[in-house]
Amino acid sequence: MISDLNKLDIKDISDVDYCIIGSGPAGITLALELERAGKNILLMEAGDVQWTKESTDCYKGVNSGDQYFDLAFTRQRFFGGTSNHWTGWCRNLDESDFSSGKISGVNWPISKKDLDPYLQKSCEILEVDSNFANESLSTEFGVEAQQFNFSPPVRFGQKYKNRIEKSNSIHLILNANLTDLIYDNTRVYEAMFHSYTGNNFISKAKTFVLATGGIENSRLLLWFNKKNQIKLIDDRSPLGKYWMEHPHFYIGKAFLDRRWENAYLGLDAATRRSLGILNAGIRIEGLGDEGATALIKDIMCVAPDLGKKIGNLFEKNLVCAAEIRGAWEQVPNIDSAIQISENQFDSFGIPRPLLNWKKTSFDIETISKTLQQINAWVLFENMGRFKFNNWLLTEGPFPDSIETGGHHHLGGTRMGTNISDGVVDINLKVFNKENFYILGSSVFPTGGHANPTLTILQLAMRLSSHLLQR
């Protein structure tokens, strides 16, 4: 069933098993899993079935740290969430992403094995192949071709609207903005929602799940903590902290053997460990004839013989010219954080988010050493030449760029083993609350370098299994 809080003053609904707040890939996947078990679910969505100005306005915020996207563009606030905008790149996290060895404090309290049982089903929802095995290209240099699969991309709102409309167990309420939670030291009892037209709704449920995305989860919790007498999230927990992205930057140019055009290359876990770096991938983006000609001209100016040689190989279609793009894992940093504004508020009086994204010199080291290692392999095999962008050679600063990240909002309510190193436990339950859970990439303690949505779906299914076993 679907209702619209803008139009109806819906009476309080009690006796609901689950109240899921947010209808992006996380919230919808969880709702569908719980529906199969015959549970009653309220799925609360702040936006409409399509984009609206009034909802998007609530997503405005301030970037107070490193250069980042407009916060109202990097996420979508309507039914289906940011899947209305995503590109569909899919890959699961590597085993090593859960425990990155050498770098202290960088690990998940669960392992890849805990998520594997949910891989196949998550891939079916995203309509992608579930084989993500990398191809080893050199054991000596530890270079591998990384496997990404591509969702059409699935738009969750479009895909599941009819099904939810006909469902007897899922009640989706649109234009319902979470504005407060009623709780004590152990439980959450009620969630309060407001529409844009002044209607209110109170949800009483046995269990509440917050799935409002990788910035909003922190923002809302920070606000509830500030406005209410009792802390919803314990002060010792790193709420809003360790916020991460996957930095995306152009890092160089290359002439390479044709077969690597558009490949995605990276290093195996053992090589990364020995170099003391985190996970990364470099994409060889073919520049086409025009780009190649310009690059050959550049080389001719400084090394005419080499330029001629490359020109010949290019004419024979043996090499490609490429721009090299890196996308990689950041080291979790307590100072990279979401905070809330003191003087800017949305139309419901909730402080706007301040995103203080911070990259460190370690983040440059990860991508620089990855490219150096792949370069060493290319030179050894005589398969081409890389030209590194200057900021990599000088180890910073990061250049100005239109695209600085992947729109992957990671951390802020990280999973931990205890109240002082996490906001949620291994089952995504908020420490010290019996019936309150957080779902989405905000729970990632580390980011790996895979795009996050597939992992979010695996976490949603694992959460469903946990809730049904309770």
Ligand X SMILES: Cc1cc2nc3c(=O)[nH]c(=O)nc-3n(C[C@H](O)[C@H](O)[C@H](O)COP(=O)(O)OP(=O)(O)OC[C@H]3O[C@@H](n4cnc5c(N)ncnc54)[C@H](O)[C@@H]3O)c2cc1C
Positions that interact with ligand X (CB under 6 A):
21-27, 44-47, 74-75, 77-78, 81-83, 85-89, 177-178, 211-213, 216, 220, 407-408, 440-441, 451-453, 456
Do 326 and 356 touch, CB atoms closer than 8 A?
A: no
List, in sequence order, every residue forming a beta bridge with 172; answer none if it has no partner: 2, 43
Q: Which residue, 281 or 440, has its beta carbon nearer to ligand X?
A: 440
- d(C-alpha 328, C-alpha 333), whole Å: 15
Minimum CB separation of residue 432 from ligand X in Å reads 23
Nearer to ligand X, 45 or 94 (CB): 45
3-state secondary structure of 398: coil
Query: Nearer Cβ to ligand X, position 207 or 453?
Result: 453
Q: Of 16, 74, 211, 208, which Cα lies nearest the Cα of 220? A: 211
C-alpha–C-alpha distance, residues 191 and 202, integer Å: 6
Q: Least separation, in Å, of the C-beta of 181 and ligand X?
A: 11
Contact between 207 and 467 (Cβ < 8 Å): yes
**Residue pair 92/119 in contact by the 8 Å Cβ criterion:** yes
Q: Which is nearer to ligand X, 407 or 449 (CB)?
A: 407
Q: For residues 89 and 74, what is the distance between their CA atoms, to the nearest angstrom?
A: 16
CB of 261 vs ligand X, minimal distance in Å: 21
Measured from the CB atom, is 150 or 380 closer to ligand X? 150
CB of 77 or CB of 449, closer to ligand X = 77
Residue 173 CB, nearest distance to ligand X (Å)?
A: 9
- Closest approach of Cβ 409 to ligand X, in Å? 7
SS3 of 129-198: CCCCCCEEEECCCCEEECCCEECCCCCHHHHHHHHHHHCCCEEEEECCEEEEEEECCCCEEEEEEECCCC
Shortest distance, position 103 Cβ to ligand X, whole Å:
24
Give the whole-angstrom CA distance, residue 358 versus residue 240: 13
**In the complex, least distance from residue 397 CB atom to ligand X, rounded to whole angstroms:** 25
Residue 205: exposed, middle, or buried by beta-carbon count in 10 A (0-12, 13-18, 19+)?
Answer: buried
Residue 322 to residue 346: CA distance in whole angstroms: 44
The nearer residue to ligand X, 8 or 313, going by C-beta atoms, is: 8
Q: Which residue is nearest to ligand X (CB)?
A: 24
| Between 47 and 351, CB nearer to ligand X | 47
Cα-based distances in Å from 196 to 48, 85, 193, 364: 11, 23, 10, 44
Name residue 253's beta-bridge partners.
Answer: 323, 387
Q: How far is the CB of 281 from ligand X (least distance, A)?
A: 13
Report in angstroms how near the CB of residue 407 gets to ligand X at its nearest: 3
Helix (H) or strand (E) holding 351: strand 351-356
Which helix (DSSP H) or strand (DSSP E) does residue 292 occupy?
A: helix 288-302
> Nearer Cβ to ligand X, position 56 or 427?
56
Residue count (the chain):
470
Taking the complex as a whole, how short is the minimal distance between the CB of residue 291 and ligand X, in angstroms?
Answer: 24
Quick check: 123 and 90 in contact, CB under 8 A?
yes
Q: Which is nearer to ligand X, 27 or 422 (CB)?
A: 27
